Structure 1
Amino acid sequence: MESSDDTPQVILNKDKNIFEISGRCLPEDAVSFFNPIMDWIKRYAQSPNPATAFHIKLDYFNTASSKLLLDLLTALKPIPAIRVIWHSYADDEEVQEAGAEFSEQVDIPFEFRER
């Protein structure tokens, strides 16, 4: 999915082993935006790659998206060798803290990187 002013770019490419959400995430209808992503993850979990690194590079996300991001991270849990790479800018404490909170709420490995 290509990004817009209110939605992030989403890349879910099993063949190239690229899994990424990047940009701003404040869709008008967060549930409708995240549903196809969740459906894809559920299908992918049935036959995943040997290792999966899911990159999250969000500049901003609203409260509704935050809840659905947590749901998305929880959906990743059954995938063997999954890890989340949480990207944030050095001066963006809000996104850094959100990543730390998510990592405590889901039982999957998180790696934090500065952009």
Structure 2
Amino acid sequence: MNILYAEVDTTKTMEDLILEGSRDVYFSPSVKLEAASGRCSISGESYLEEPYEFYKKIAEWFMAYTRSGGKGIYLDLRFSYFNTSSSRAILEMLRVLKNLQNSGTEVAVNWYYPNPDDDEILMEGEDFQEECGLAINMVEYELD
């Protein structure tokens, strides 16, 4: 599924996008996208029934943000788990950021991974970087 060319209404004032994470039948990460600063974060578990719809909403926000004059997107990703279908949707979202970067938007992505317990999360971040061509900062953190 390609989400790179979604239609976005740019006549509205940009608003923050905040989604509280949930752990029900499916798990969704917490999302905080700040229109005033371009500071964004996605964290938690991503085991979704419709991951493309979830991440498409985020990608659309990124596109609308840049069209409304936003200069930079600074994204922190801190996943503790994501399933295969979420992985594909996350990759598509990162490809949107790469396209925005290619169009002149400043983009910085930090990929947080736990030390030393989960090499899988680190390897996934490195795979995303290779697949989408976007420079991603790998940031180690200690588990609580």
The answer, yes or no, to whether TM exceeds 0.5 is yes
Q: Does 1:14 align with 2:35?
A: yes
Match of 1:37 among 50, 58, 65: 58
Letter in structure 2 aligned against 1:93: D
Q: TM-score, normalised by structure 2?
A: 0.74
Identity value in percent: 29
Query: Does the 8 A contact of 1:54 with 1:83 survive in 2?
Result: yes
Q: CA deviation at 1:47?
A: 3.7
What is the one-letter code of the residue matched to 2:65?
Y
User: CA contact under 8 A between 2:44 and 2:79: conserved in structure 1?
Assistant: yes
Structure 1 gaps, min length 5: none
Which position in structure 2 is the counterpart of 1:25?
A: 46
Find the aligned partners of 2:73 and 2:94 in 1 and give their Cα distance: 13
1:3 aligns with 2:21: yes
Aligned to 2:112: 87
User: Can you list the C-alpha shifts for 1:49-70, whole angstroms capped at 9, x where unaligned?
Assistant: 3332211000000000000000
The structure with the largest alpha-carbon Rg is 2
Which residue identity does 1:113 align to in structure 2?
V
DSSP-derived class of the 1:15 partner: coil
Structure 2, unmatched stretches of 5+, are 1-18
- SS of the residue corresponding to residue 36 of structure 2 reads coil
Alignment-mate amino acid for residue 100 of structure 1: E
Shift of 1:48: 5.1
The whole-number CA distance in structure 1 between the counterparts of 2:125 and 2:51 is 19
Deviation at 1:42, TM superposition (A): 1.8
Q: Return the letter of the residue paired with 2:125.
A: G
